[in-house]
Amino acid sequence: MHGSLGTPGRPLYFLHVPKTAGSAFTRMLDDAFPVGTRVPAEYYAGLGGTPLAEALQGRGMLAGHFGLRPLALAPLTSITVLREPAARAWSHFRYMAENGREHTFESFLAHPLEGCGARDYQARWLGTPSAERFPDGEPAIAYLPTTPGGGHGAPAPAALERAAATTLATCAVVGTAERLPETIDALGRLLGRPLAPPPRVNATRDARPLPPEVAARVRALSPIDLRLYAEAGRRLDRALAELPPLPPEPLVPLPFAQGMEAGFHGTGFHRRIHAPGTGWHRWTGPGRVSAIRLPVRIAGPATLTLAVVSACDDDVVRSLRLTVQDASVAHRLESPPDGPGVLAVAEVTLDPARPLTVAAEVAHTRRLTDPATGELSPDPAGLALGTLAFR
């Protein structure tokens, strides 16, 4: 799939405007494609000194706070997500406050750099030419586009709006944070396969509601963003009306196997990780139910094997319940011929007229202890799952 995720030969570029649900969107994209597809950075400092053009070589996807610079380097299939301007600015302000910035909303507005977050901020990302580095060689920041001259100014309002509107017009899919499921549906239809709902990632914990007076003030300061946001909604409506429906997954013969390094459609999982001895795997969690939708369909009787390479404790392995195509199935535990853990093995009969889904439910999850440091994981987990196979 590398290099041909959107239009053949053109890598996919998700132009991520901060605080527009983009971290969740990026995680969904990361999951959806094989290991190594995405450039492993979400902002210029993360490239570790590698020029962006070099980092793009051999990759099929770029996602992050890179602004317009990538569009000047290579033919890309670009997508973006906008958010209602007042809601976005309020989320940004609260996120900064809970991460150590001692701001009132008034001081946030008055700050010469950070206050741009409430002044046509999304237009700046879509309409300001950007550079990878400051003139002194330091990487560009992720808060605002860094101009080729090293500043953070934007074009005059009329020019900014024209440039931002042009960027939207060149995007293959434009969506909104408020309509994220529909945005993901449109992107899946563009790519020709279903995409999973995004997990909750990098969300602002501060749940204070948006005060009406703040909303009114931000909207008055962001007239271009309001028009761009409205256009994003119209473009999403057109995409949903015009893109072809999703085709069914291809019917394949047995045997079939999929490892966690492959593209993945699932819910209730943590990021995939690699470890010596266990290879690529994903922990279930933080909840008790995790589900996978396979990229194929299979007909008739088959034996399902699910590799459980680790677990938060022995009881959670014994508590495992499996569901295949929405029907509960009995399973047995077997020792794998090689490798760690156990295999959950079930005899199933598969309906090719329905998506091939496998769900795992456990009695509990808990935070994991890092054996090297003794630190607890931030979120609970249950089972570490490896390869899923049908034979």
The three-state DSSP-derived secondary structure of the chain is: CCCCCCCCCCCEEEECCCCCCHHHHHHHHHHHCCCCCECCCCCHHHHCCCCHHHHCCCCCEEEECCCCHHHHCCCCEEEEEECCHHHHHHHHHHHHHHCCCCCCHHHHHHCCCHHHHHCCHHHHHHHCCCCCECCCCCECCCCCCCCCCCCCCCCCHHHHHHHHHHHHHHCCEEEEHHHHHHHHHHHHHHHCCCCCCCCCCCCCCCCCCCCHHHHHHHHHHCHHHHHHHHHHHHHHHHHHHHCCCCCCCCECCCCEEECCCCCCCEECEEEEEEECCCEEEEEECCCCEEEEECCCECCEEEEEEEEEEEECCHHHHHCCEEEECCEEECCEEECCCCCCCEEEEEEEEECCCCCCEEEEECCCCECCECCCCCCECCCCECEEEEEEEEC
Q: How far apart are CA 77 and CA 9, in angstroms?
A: 9
Q: Phi-psi region for residue 136, left (φ > 0), alpha (ψ -120 to 50) or beta?
A: alpha
Q: How far apart are CA 357 and CA 296, in angstroms?
A: 10
Q: How confident is the model at residue 201 (pLDDT cuts 50, 70, 90)?
A: low
Is the pLDDT reported for residue 145 higher than 60? yes
> Domain residue spans in the chain?
12-242, 256-390
Is the pLDDT reported for residue 269 higher than 60? yes
Mean local confidence (pLDDT), 158-165: 98
Q: How far apart are CA 162 and CA 249, in angstroms?
A: 41
pLDDT for res 37: 96
Is the pLDDT reported for residue 8 higher than 60? no
Is the pLDDT reported for residue 236 higher than 70? yes
Closest CA to 389 of 321, 325, 304: 304
Query: Under a CB-based contact definition with an 8 Å cutoff, are residues 39 and 73 in contact?
Result: no
Mean local confidence (pLDDT), 5-26: 85
Q: Residue 213 corresponds to which tokens in the numbers above?
A: 């007076």
Query: Under a CB-based contact definition with an 8 Å cutoff, are residues 105 and 38 in contact?
Result: no
Q: Residue 44 corresponds to which tokens in the numbers above?
A: 């210029």
pLDDT for res 101: 77
Q: Which amino acid is at 206?
A: D
Is the pLDDT reported for residue 4 higher than 50? no
Closest CA to 324 of 297, 349, 289: 349
With b for 16 or more beta-carbon neighbours within 10 A and e for fewer, the 268-298 pattern comes to bbbebeeeeebbbbbbbbbebebbbbbbbbb
- Per the model's pLDDT, the better-predicted residue between 205 and 293 turns out to be 293
Q: How far apart are CA 300 and CA 86, in angstroms?
A: 53
Is the pLDDT reported for residue 202 higher than 70? no
Q: How confident is the model at residue 325 (pLDDT cuts 50, 70, 90)?
A: very high
- Yes or no: domain 256-390 corresponds to CATH 1.10.3470: no
According to CATH, the topology of domain 12-242 is Rossmann fold (3.40.50)
Give the model confidence (pLDDT) of 83-123 as tens digits: 999 999 999 998 888 877 777 889 999 999 999 999 999 99
Is the pLDDT reported for residue 1 higher than 70? no
Out of 26-35, 97-106, 305-314, pick the least confident: 97-106
Closest CA to 233 of 169, 174, 185: 174
Q: How far apart are CA 150 and CA 105, in angstroms?
A: 27
Q: How far apart are CA 225 and CA 123, in angstroms?
A: 6
The overall average pLDDT reported for the chain is 94
Is the pLDDT reported for residue 9 higher than 80? no
Is the pLDDT reported for residue 5 higher than 60? no
Q: Which amino acid is at 333?
A: L
Query: Under a CB-based contact definition with an 8 Å cutoff, are residues 82 and 222 in contact?
Result: no
For residue 280, list its beta bridge partners.
274
- Per the model's pLDDT, the better-predicted residue between 169 and 198 turns out to be 169
CA-based torsion, 129, 132, 136, 139: positive or negative: positive
pLDDT for res 204: 64
Mean local confidence (pLDDT), 167-189: 97
Q: How confident is the model at residue 372 (pLDDT cuts 50, 70, 90)?
A: confident
Q: What percent of the chain has pLDDT over 70?
A: 96
Mean local confidence (pLDDT), 228-245: 98
